[in-house]
Structure formats: C-alpha cells, structure tokens
C-alpha cells in the first residue's frame, strides 16, 4: 500500500462497500465507491426509476450556535429560515467569490443551525466560518455519517423504516428515527429526484444502510452515477462548475440570494454583486447540448461559429436518462441565450452544439403533500 492510499480517510461504510463489490477510488481525501458491480449506467437508471442509496459521509457536518450570524458570509436569507426547513447557500469571501456551496437547516425547537458543506472544502469552510464569526460557536461533527436515499420510490421505502417520514415535502427537515436509530432527515438531495438525506451517528451507519439496502427497491449507488445524475439535473459541482474565481451572478445562482439580502446589501461584496446583477457579467454559466452522441468533457473549449474561443466546459458526459451527451460551462454573456449555436473543440475539431436550458431532465421533488 502506498503512502497516498494509507493517508486516505474511510467512511463508516467502507467495509460494507467492499462487501458489496464496490470499486473504490480516491475522492476528496477519502476512499469512496465509484461504482458497484451493476455499473454506472444501471445505477443511474435505477435511481431515476426506483431508489438508490449513496454514502455521502465524507461531507462536512456541523452545528452553529448564534446561526443568524451566518449572514455575514452568505447572501442566503438565514434569519428568515423557518423552523423545520432547509436552504441552499453560497459561502462567499470578501470579494464575493464562491468558497463553497452548502445546505443549512433550522431544526424545530433548536437554537443551533445544522450545516452541511462539501467534502473537499470542509476544513477550509469551517476555519473560515469560525474566523469570520467569532460570536457564533461552530461545532463540527466528524463522528456523524450521511446517507442519501434518492429516487421516486424513496418515500415509500423510508416510510417503512421511519413511519410518518413520507409526509415531509421538499426542503423540510426533522429529527426522526430510522431503523431504530436517531437521525436528522431532510427531503432533499443531489440528483434532481425526490429523496432524502439522512444524518446519523457513525456507529449507526451500517445498521441503517443495511436496513435500506434490504428493501427490494434499493440498490447501492456510487460516485459515477451521482455525477451523471446531478449533471442531468443541472446541479453544480464545487471545484468544477463553481469555485473561488466565480461569483453568484456568473454562476447563474442569483436565485440563492435572499430578497431581503438584495435590499439590505449586507452580504460580502454586496454592492459589487448587485451591480453585476443590474449590469451583467462578462461570462455566464449555461447548459450545453452537443449534437450527435459524442460527449464533451470538462476542459473542452467552446467557440463561436467563426472559431473564436468564447468559453469552456466545466462538466460534461453522457446523460443516461437524457439518452445523449449533456454539459455545462461558461460562455461570454453575448452567447448565453438558449438556442445559441456554438462549437465544442474536441481533439482539435469543432463539434456543433447549442446553449440549452437546464435541467436536462426535469426535477421531480415532492413539493406538496399527497
């Protein structure tokens, strides 16, 4: 075993992944399953049709006392978040560029905010929050695991192991018991499908995972299908589609800025960002549909029809549910309108494509009670 392999962290489900035949790869400092014997294509399609179980325990989990102070580092409306609800936010630096995207929740009857950040940036995120908000105590929880159950049958599956949970609608969050274990459950995810994220103590992770996998609708799903699912859903991957060189306007994430925050202009680089909302930016994140069947990968240049380079692909691949190649990237704003014809430079040759709206596959979140 190499030093690199020895230094990789493992989630509480590492042994179960091996038992299930997972192919393990390094990801964000962890050994993670990229696929299982079923393969990425089947895992992807199974999640869209039934329910898939993802180990996302590498994500960073924390609780933040005096959580309203979080507004000093995000343009999201934190103070307006109601009990029992979750919200998406961007972590901004003083220049208004994106250090990470994250989720935060206000659990009923609790004063601390529950925060989930990306795996590869969690140490930097937590250090930045702690330094920026000295009056808001941050308690990180590396002892907790995180599972995602995603797909149209996720609700009926989880209801069997946590009666009453299927009453939750999109972006609601609650403390519950799953397979006899205490959990924080939100109706959310990273696939565009209905589903849940389940935070549990690390010691309970295998018990809960095995209980879910015992249900006939559920297959284990690796990072490969997680990436193709989120790309079809038009969802950003930090470090690729958004990073600390981009701001919320370029990234086409202005919807995540709270209405009150826009009026008060009290978030990092608010004047600069509000000016960009009004005046526009040089480039903008857009969806791209290549013609034909050949996918364009991250890093491929985007050119106008005269051959001038106007942007770059940040995520791209084959969309199994879309049944064709899909991509997203940044183009000069003059070319950002849906339907704009462009070329993707693949192996030195221009391949025709067009700017297209996202998501490529419709979101199917459960927004109302049945």
CATH, residue 198: 3.30.1360.120
Average confidence score pLDDT of the chain: 97
CA–CA dist 77, 10 (Å, integer): 34
Same domain, 38 and 169: yes
CATH of the domain at 337: 2.40.30.110
Please tell me the predicted confidence (pLDDT) of residue 6: 61
Q: How many domains does the chain have?
A: 2
Per-residue pLDDT of 312-359, as tens digits, reads: 999 999 999 999 999 999 999 999 999 999 999 998 999 999 999 999
pLDDT interval class at 82 (50, 70, 90):
very high
For residue 128, the model assigns a pLDDT of 98
| pLDDT bucket at 100, cuts 50 / 70 / 90 | very high
Distance CA 178, CA 265 (A): 41
Q: Decide if pLDDT at 86 tops 80.
A: yes
Within a domain: residue 123?
Answer: no
294's CB contacts (< 8 A; 6+ apart) are 325, 346, 351
Classify residue 126: in a domain, yes or no: no
User: Do 213 and 329 fall into the same domain?
Assistant: no
Is 273 domain-assigned?
Answer: no
Q: Is the pLDDT of residue 1 over 60?
A: no
Same domain for 20 and 160, yes or no, is yes
**Residues 151, 146: Cα–Cα separation, whole Å:** 17
What does the DSSP 8-state code read for residue 368?
A: S
Model confidence pLDDT, tens digit, residues 7-38: 999 999 999 999 999 999 999 999 999 999 99
Domain final position from 197, 212, 232: 232
The residue segments making up the domain with residue 317 are 282-370
Q: How far apart are CA 167 and CA 158, in angstroms?
A: 11
Distance between CA atoms of 120 and 112, rounded to whole angstroms? Answer: 24
| 180 occurs within a structural domain | yes
For residue 368, what pLDDT is reported?
85
Is residue 115, in this structure, part of any structural domain at all? no
219 falls within a domain = yes
Kindly tell me if the per-residue pLDDT of 370 is higher than 60.
Answer: no
Q: With a cut of 80, say whether residue 296 has pLDDT above it.
A: yes
SS3 content of the chain, % helix, strand, coil (to 5): 25, 35, 40
Query: Which two structure tokens, joined as six digits, stand for 239?
Result: 């470090």
Question: Looking at the structure, do residues 24 and 170 belong to the same domain, yes or no?
Answer: yes
217 and 291 assigned to the same domain: no
Cα distance between residue 172 and residue 113, in whole Å: 14
Q: Answer whether residue 186 is part of any domain.
A: yes
310 domain-assigned: yes
Is the same domain home to 52 and 200?
A: yes
17 and 149 both lie in a single domain = yes
Q: What is the mean predicted confidence (pLDDT) over 55-82? A: 98
Same domain assignment for residues 227 and 327: no
Do 200 and 325 lie in one domain? The reply is no
- d(Cα 338, Cα 134) in Å, to the nearest integer? 44
Region 201-219: what's the mean pLDDT? 98
Q: How far is CA 331 from CA 51, 211, 284, 306, 328, in A?
A: 35, 46, 6, 15, 10
Average pLDDT over residues 228-248: 98
The domain boundary, picked from 191, 217, 232, lies at 232
* 232, 248, 267 - which closes a domain: 232
Q: Looking at the DSSP assignment, which residues form a beta bridge with residue 105?
A: 86, 114
């Amino acid at each position: 075993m190499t030093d690199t392999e020895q230094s990789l962290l493992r989630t509480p489900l590492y042994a179960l992944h091996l038992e299930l035949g997972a192919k393990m790869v390094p990801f964000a400092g962890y050994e993670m399953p990229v696929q299982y014997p079923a393969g990425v294509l089947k895992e992807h399609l199974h999640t869209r049709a039934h329910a898939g179980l993802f180990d996302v325990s590498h994500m960073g989990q924390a609780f933040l006392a005096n959580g309203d102070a979080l507004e000093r580092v995000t343009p999201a409306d934190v103070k307006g978040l109601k009990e029992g609800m979750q919200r998406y936010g961007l972590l901004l630096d003083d220049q208004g560029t994106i250090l990470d995207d994250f989720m935060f929740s206000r659990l009923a009857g609790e004063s601390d905010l529950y925060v989930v950040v990306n795996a590869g940036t969690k140490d930097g995120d937590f250090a930045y929050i702690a330094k920026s908000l000295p009056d808001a105590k941050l308690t990180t929880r590396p002892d907790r695991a995180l599972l995602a159950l995603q797909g149209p049958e996720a609700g009926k599956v989880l209801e069997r192991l946590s009666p009453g949970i299927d009453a939750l609608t999109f972006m609601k969050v609650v403390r519950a018991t799953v397979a006899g274990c205490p959990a924080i459950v939100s109706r959310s995810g990273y696939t565009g499908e209905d589903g849940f994220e389940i935070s549990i103590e690390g010691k309970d992770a295998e018990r809960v995972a095995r209980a879910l996998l015992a249900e006939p609708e559920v297959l284990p799903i690796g990072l490969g299908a997680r990436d193709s699912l989120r790309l079809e859903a038009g969802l950003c991957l930090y470090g690729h589609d958004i990073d600390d060189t981009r701001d919320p306007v370029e990234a086409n994430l202005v919807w995540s800025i709270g209405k009150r925050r826009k009026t008060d202009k009290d978030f990092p680089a608010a004047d600069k960002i509000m000016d960009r909302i009004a005046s526009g930016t040089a480039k903008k994140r857009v969806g791209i549909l290549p013609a034909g069947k050949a996918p364009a990968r991250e890093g491929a240049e985007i050119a106008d029809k005269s051959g001038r380079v106007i942007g770059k692909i940040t995520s791209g691949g084959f969309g199994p549910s879309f049944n064709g190649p899909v991509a997203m990237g940044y183009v000069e704003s003059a070319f950002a309108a849906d339907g704009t014809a462009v070329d993707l430079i693949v192996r030195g040759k221009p391949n025709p494509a067009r700017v297209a709206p996202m998501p490529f596959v419709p979101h199917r979140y459960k927004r109302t009670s049945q």
